[in-house]
Structure 1
């Protein structure tokens, strides 16, 4: 079942900040990782126009997220944090974006086509929210605003992998599921969660939990809106 995360997933520490934030924002988090778009992926019946629109916008989204991790390196106060931000940035540009472009090629999309497409409003809203959080706050604020994407996709990937056993061979969404449940991506998610826990302990811990919860909840809602953007695009295509 999509709702059952495999035991021992190990994406984040059970006593760490991500676990706390997920529990404190349970409704928003479940609306994100259990969105109808994600459930469509798990069943293999997500409308093709919805996924195609998502793929294009996610390419543009990843470019802005790479910029956010460059900002994280600037915001870092220690060499370890600079290295961690640089490693995640490298993971995004050298691993995730390459996986994404490869998936898009299977849908007849070239990198040049995607780069020339305007950002949709949910893409602008989410990415600029994250960058604004980093500009106004410190490294911890930025990492928390980023975490629903980085860690959340790992959780979604694991859930979808467990559900995908029921999908037929050659299903159109298997490549995407395998990318976000694969070892390369999960290593990025785990590293991001570990860094957040370390920075949280160093920068205020419990005293900052209310403000960080607000950032995490807002980012989760923006993630859900990003999924919805794909479904809305498919609905518009059907109406034409």
Structure 2
């Protein structure tokens, strides 16, 4: 079982932009561009497109912003690309070919998946699909994943079976707000995917379901945010 810790709103420490470098060394490093990483930020219901009249809200794209800022500060930024996709775009062979595989040039590409809500559920499935195809999924981040409910499965384009993720590192964040809002009501209808084991880092946070960016940038276990774990992995990939 991974590390489990609760983070309250008073304890949140947004990481903001991070330079692609060792946590103990704040200087940017120069590398020969020999490797490549591709990150997929996958949104949930009403994220990239309207969901029964709700949205689009672009919640996971707000989480992509600090990632993009960090990458743009690096000397090897040209080797890093990221894409904002909807959960509908990563299910089924045709969609995966059109929206995911088209952006992967070779099996040596390092893949990073950040999924929020229904995008966390379908993104977890995508991690195992890509791994079975021979791609290296370095980090999977699931931000308050949703998809356990029978009703949401009947009205949403998600995989019916529970995901079995495959990634070098899996970080999961469960939203457990003291004060709920409409986004939490929607997530409750879909039923959160509550995990007792599986993720390497498994955290619960006092945050609303819609706040994907806060879940992604707030410090978790080991004094690192999900973003910091991703950046550390990218450093390792380019140094390898």
Could you state the TM-score of these two structures normalised by the residue count of structure 2? 0.29
Write 1 or 2 for the structure with the bigger share of helix. 1
Q: TM-score, normalised by structure 1?
A: 0.29
Higher relative contact order (CA 8 A, sep 6+): 1
